[in-house]
Amino acid sequence: MNSSQTSGTNIATVYMPLLACYEPTPTATAPKSYYKAARDVAAACEAALHKVTLTLSSSGWTAILCVKDSEQERRGEEGQRVVEQTYKIIAYKDDVPPTP
């Protein structure tokens, strides 16, 4: 988490990685369907999170925005394919006590 403070308000930026992994077996009848399933999961995550205002219950923080920061496809340590998305969440917390 990166944070800063401006006029009594804390502002935080959190980066959240999401991974969709797929590993077709050598005997898989349709190995490309594994790839499609992982891409479908990544697309569903993007639809649910990209450019969305989030509610952070009971944490004291208010999320302003969640945006997809990056996406890459890579090989995992055991040879599986991984679709990795990173989301940036910007939030604030007002630490100034209310004026009576």
pLDDT mean over 60-79? 82
The total number of structural domains in the chain stands at 1
Query: Which residues have C-beta within 8 Å of that of residue 67, sequence separation ≥ 6?
Result: 50, 51, 87, 88
Tell me the C-alpha distance between 65 and 31, whole Å: 36
99 within domain boundaries: no
Q: Is residue 83 part of a domain?
A: yes
What range does the domain containing 80 cover? Answer: 2-94
Higher confidence at residue 25 or residue 71?
A: 71
User: Could you read off the pLDDT of 47-61 as tens digits, one per residue?
Assistant: 998 888 777 766 677
* pLDDT score at 62: 77
Asked whether residue 75 is assigned to any structural domain, the reply reads yes
Closest of 1, 23, 14 to residue 79, by C-alpha: 23
* Within a domain: 100: no
